[in-house]
Chain A
């Protein structure tokens, strides 16, 4: 499984939504499933899946799927 797919799966799992809904444009608070409680679950899921530890600033900057990719890149997670 490549990282793009892993990311989609992580979002789907944490937000408990279908993978079809997950596009780069999907933003925090734009759907009811991505609220602050789900955001905590998302952080845990991403840390688990990519075996990283996110900085606090990155957690609160992660306001869209696109932003999550950008941030993960800083942790040497590559999206080809």
Chain B
């Protein structure tokens, strides 16, 4: 799908991607990458690709895919222990990484259970937490979402997106897929908003995608004073951005002649689900917008249920799951509770399950509590998007912080630890979250 999805000739010298080091990948190079991987790994395999946003990584990704392998994308900065756990759990045949610009392929399991013939790409359910659970996709699902994105954002081959969101993150991957589809040129980057390289790319890019914490930084760094000769579009997803910031960004964009769109998605949906166009923001700044082309949304007891050909095949937790077919049939219960506003746009009212997003990545509060319970430490979590407070009765706080950073890879500044004498409980023994709210400052 990846090699053939775009309308660019396979001999074209058009640039598909350029990275921070100035390395370039052309649409015409893709056949070479495919042939390389056909020889390097002759049999269809389950391959882990350790990702960074560089040209060699993207070349390996497209080449492995075109050569018919099923790929699990993981961050290159993954801990060794977590990587070993993934290799074991899924009996990965190979791990591909890039070191000093050179592609390395390590063989692992020689014989593994069969893969489902349609299985093409697997992503982690959460960008960073220790959970080994995966989301499984086939080509048609990813293609459907890429096509829909290209349609609603009206993408053309003239686009030059700043592709700084990690490629192993579903939102970042969707930026890559949707732009390849139209034959655009990606500015692949690992630079953060706080680095000069980011702004060099920014001055040339036509669009930028970010999660709430990127927009916090962009506002902090006075986006309104920044010029870009090509910029046309800003898009935000990956958690709720407060209404006042949505309006501020809308106003900055209007002033500059840019568009700022708010979007909503979930990895399981391939990932994008709805979008709120720039022009509708002043009237509906707290909405997530309307379904994107090809997606239908229905509210079942307030829960958003989506029907789309981009919904995943299903989850995987064992190697045997990788031989499973599509168990979702295009229907996904999102766990988000929503309502229609003026019969036009959806507004999120809450979550059914205890999930929050931290820097765009999904974090299960229960998962953190369960982890600590397993090492006999009492911990209770509370949070909203981009604000996590971890209450514990067992100090010191630093020890808890270190354990979280080590096991969940959260940014050290993205959560608070609060020490309690006792976890407040209701008379029935359940945790009293209301009292907890009063105890924690919850800020970041």
A: which residues have CB within 8 A of B? Answer: 15-16, 28-29, 32-33, 35-41, 43, 56, 59-61, 63
Whether A63 touches B226, Cβ cut-off 8 Å, given contacts A16-B412, A16-B413, A32-B405, is no
| Smallest CB gap from A33: residue in B | B412
Which of A15, A16, A35 has the most CB atoms of chain B within a 10 A radius of its CB? A35
Write out the residue numbers on chain B whose beta carbons fall within 8 Å of the beta carbon of A33.
412
Q: Is the CB of B226 within 8 A of A40?
A: no
Q: Does B196 contact A (CB under 8 A)?
A: yes
Cross-chain pairs A/B with CB under 8 angstroms, 19 sampled: A15-B412, A16-B413, A28-B194, A28-B195, A32-B405, A35-B192, A35-B411, A35-B412, A36-B192, A36-B193, A36-B217, A37-B359, A37-B411, A38-B411, A39-B192, A40-B220, A60-B198, A60-B221, A63-B195
Which of B195, B199, B405 has the most CB atoms of chain A within a 10 A radius of its CB? B195
Q: For the complex, what is the distance from the CA of A15 to the CA of B405, rounded to whole Å?
A: 14
Q: Does B229 contact A (CB under 8 A)?
A: no
Write out the residue numbers on chain A whose beta carbons fall within 8 Å of the beta carbon of B193.
36
Whether A32 touches B220, Cβ cut-off 8 Å, given contacts A56-B226, A60-B194, is no
Q: Does B414 contact A (CB under 8 A)?
A: yes
Q: Is the CB of B412 within 8 A of A39?
A: no
Q: Is the CB of B194 within 8 A of A40?
A: yes
Q: For the complex, what is the distance from the CA of A43 to the CA of B192, rounded to whole Å?
A: 15
Q: For the complex, what is the distance from the CA of A37 to the CA of B409, rounded to whole Å?
A: 14
Q: For the complex, what is the distance from the CA of A36 to the CA of B413, rounded to whole Å?
A: 9
Q: Is the CB of B222 within 8 A of A56?
A: yes
Given A37-B413, A59-B221, A60-B199, 7 extra CB contacts under 8 A: A16-B413, A32-B412, A37-B411, A40-B220, A56-B225, A60-B194, A61-B196
Q: Is the CB of A59 within 8 A of B194?
A: yes
Q: Is the CB of A43 within 8 A of B412?
A: no
Q: Is the CB of B221 within 8 A of A56?
A: yes
B443 nearest CB across to chain A (Å): 11
A29 nearest CB across to chain B (Å): 8
Write out the residue numbers on chain B whose beta carbons fall within 8 Å of the beta carbon of A32.
405, 412
Write out the residue numbers on chain B whose beta carbons fall within 8 Å of the beta carbon of A59.
194, 221
Write out the residue numbers on chain B whose beta carbons fall within 8 Å of the beta carbon of A56.
221-222, 225-226
Write out the residue numbers on chain B whose beta carbons fall within 8 Å of the beta carbon of A15.
412
Write out the residue numbers on chain B whose beta carbons fall within 8 Å of the beta carbon of A37.
213, 359, 411-414, 444
A31 nearest CB across to chain B (Å): 10
Write out the residue numbers on chain B whose beta carbons fall within 8 Å of the beta carbon of A41.
413
Write out the residue numbers on chain A whose beta carbons fall within 8 Å of the beta carbon of B221.
56, 59-60
A36 nearest CB across to chain B (Å): 4
Q: Is the CB of B405 within 8 A of A43?
A: no
Cβ-neighbour of A38 out of B199, B225, B413 (below 8 A): B413
| Smallest CB gap from B359: residue in A | A37
Write out the residue numbers on chain B whose beta carbons fall within 8 Å of the beta carbon of A38.
411-413
Write out the residue numbers on chain B whose beta carbons fall within 8 Å of the beta carbon of A36.
192-194, 217
B367 nearest CB across to chain A (Å): 21
B407 nearest CB across to chain A (Å): 13
* Residues 207-257 of B contacting A (Cβ, < 8 Å): 213, 216-217, 220-222, 225-226
Q: For the complex, what is the distance from the CA of A32 to the CA of B222, rounded to whole Å?
A: 25
B211 nearest CB across to chain A (Å): 12
Write out the residue numbers on chain A whose beta carbons fall within 8 Å of the beta carbon of B195.
28, 60, 63
Which of A15, A28, A29, A39 has the most CB atoms of chain B within a 10 A radius of its CB? A39
B209 nearest CB across to chain A (Å): 16
Q: For the complex, what is the distance from the CA of A43 to the CA of B194, rounded to whole Å?
A: 11
Q: Is the CB of B412 within 8 A of A60?
A: no
Q: For the complex, what is the distance from the CA of A16 to the CA of B412, rounded to whole Å?
A: 8
Q: For the complex, what is the distance from the CA of A38 to the CA of B413, rounded to whole Å?
A: 6
Q: For the complex, what is the distance from the CA of A21 to the CA of B444, rounded to whole Å?
A: 23
* Residues 292-346 of B contacting A (Cβ, < 8 Å): none
